[in-house]
A and B are shown apart, each in its own frame.
Chain A
C-alpha cells in the first residue's frame, strides 16, 4: 500500500463550487504539505503543517484553506473554485527528525475547474 494517498485522483468541477482534496499518510511523519503543479512552473507550496496545531501559509495560499484533522490527515479546500485553480495537486510529508528535508509525495490529484 502507498505511504501517502490522495483522494480523489481526478476531479472535474464547476466555477463557484466548494472542493475538498484529502491526503492521508502512514509514514508517521509530523510534517505535511500541499503543492500545486502547473506546466512550466514546477511545484509551488500552498500550505504546510508541522503538527496538528500548526498551520502555515505557503507561497500561494490565496483561495485555499486547509485542515489538519489528525497527524495522518491533511485536507485542502477550495471554498469557491475558479478556472485558474485547474492544476495537479500534490500532498507531501516529511520527518522533522531528518537532517535534511526529504519529502515523500502522494500520486497527485488532477483538478479541472470549468
Chain B
C-alpha cells in the first residue's frame, strides 16, 4: 500500500536559517505529492504540490521537487521566519476514483527570533 515517511521533529531553527524537511514515499504508479501546513489552532491547508516526476512545487518561499528516482519530495526554504512555525505534513494521492490522501506523521517546526 501507499505510505509516507517524514523526518521526525521537532525541528527548531533561528530566523533566516535554511530549512529542509525530508519526505520519502512508497506508492505504485505515479502519485501526486503534496505538502500541507497546519498553523496553531487551525486546520491543514495546502502549501504546494507536484503532480509528476521532476515537477517543482513552490509557494511562500517553500519549494519541493518530485524525485521519482529517489521517491522523495523534500521541503526546503532558504530563509525561515517566525511566522513559518507550524506542523508540516507530506502527503500523496494516487489517481483514479479513490484519490484518498495518505499523510506522513507531520514535522513540528519552531522558528525562534
A: which residues have CB within 8 A of B?
A: 4, 33, 40-45, 48, 50, 58, 90, 92, 94, 99-108
Q: Please report the C-alpha to C-alpha distance between residue A90 and residue B34 in the assembled complex, in whole angstroms.
A: 18
B: which residues have CB within 8 A of A?
A: 4, 32, 34, 41-46, 49, 51, 89, 93, 97, 99-101, 103-106
- Is B32 a contact partner of A42 (Cβ separation < 8 A)? no
- Is B42 a contact partner of A107 (Cβ separation < 8 A)? yes
Interface secondary structure of A, over-half rule: strand
Residue among B44, B46, B93 with most chain A CB within 10 A: B44
- Is A43 a contact partner of B103 (Cβ separation < 8 A)? yes
- For A100, the chain B residues whose CB sits under 8 A away are 32, 49, 51, 93, 99
Q: What residue in chain A is nearest B100 (Cβ atoms)? A: A45
Nearest CB on A from B16, distance (A)? 29
